[in-house]
Structure 1
Amino acid sequence: MLDQFQPFMHDFIDKIVDVEADGNCGYQSVAGLLGMGEDSWSMVRYHLLKELGKFSEDYSRLFGGMERFEELRMSLHVDGLTKVTTDKWIDITDMGHVIASRYNAKPWPTPYISRMQYGKSFVMFKRDYVDINDD
């Protein structure tokens, strides 16, 4: 049934990245869409880990406490040699905030922006964006 909608949906999508489903596929997609190359999934995980560490107070409030913050932080740690388990898969609902902030994703889809603005009304961030080259 989903196949019948794919041609219609493709008219509204700017770029499609087809990645291997290996547990890192969410991070491969982010890397591919940023033009870093799908093999840069570990760099994306590293950038997001640094982002969480740099603004841990902001994110822990946004995610409702340190427990959820730590779950997301730990989900970014993989060794690359073992199979990635489901607890390491990308959770775009929460990690999307981190991705948007780290990579300054201004052209984010409207529903996502409205959720971000709603969340920002409860949490005071120290900045609105992060430069992609900022380490």
Structure 2
Amino acid sequence: MAQASAGQGLQTRRVLVVEDEFFIADDIRIALDSAGAEVVGPVATCDEALALIHEQSGRIDLGVLDINLGGELCFPAAEVLARAGVPFIFTTGYQEAMLPPRFRHVTVWEKPFDPLSLVRSLPAVIARQEG
């Protein structure tokens, strides 16, 4: 029963997951599914993320973006989401200090993290954007 309330406020929300580590992406997907969210992706590259953002234009409510995707940074996808007014968070195995100044306000989850805890935090991210 605790899992059902893990991401209260995510029901029917469409969440883009951009993560190049299969098991991490799958854990996030499972946690989001259990919270009632609809997962867009997951995808493992910035190009795939940009294609999904374009394809799903106006139908993504939130993004969970790994900063480093096999040596490629996801900042172009983050910029497109920001311009569209879509809230997002970053996940990373690196220090938060590597963020460009324009993204220093974005919530960062440092790996390793508990996917359920991450999902529990997402309704607040949406609420800040909508509030």
Q: Which structure's residues are more often strand, by fraction?
A: 2
**Relative contact order, CA 8 A, sep 6+: which one is greater?**
2
What's the TM-score once normalised by structure 2's chain length? 0.28
Q: Which structure's residues are more often helix, by fraction?
A: 1
Tell me which structure has the larger Cα radius of gyration. Answer: 1
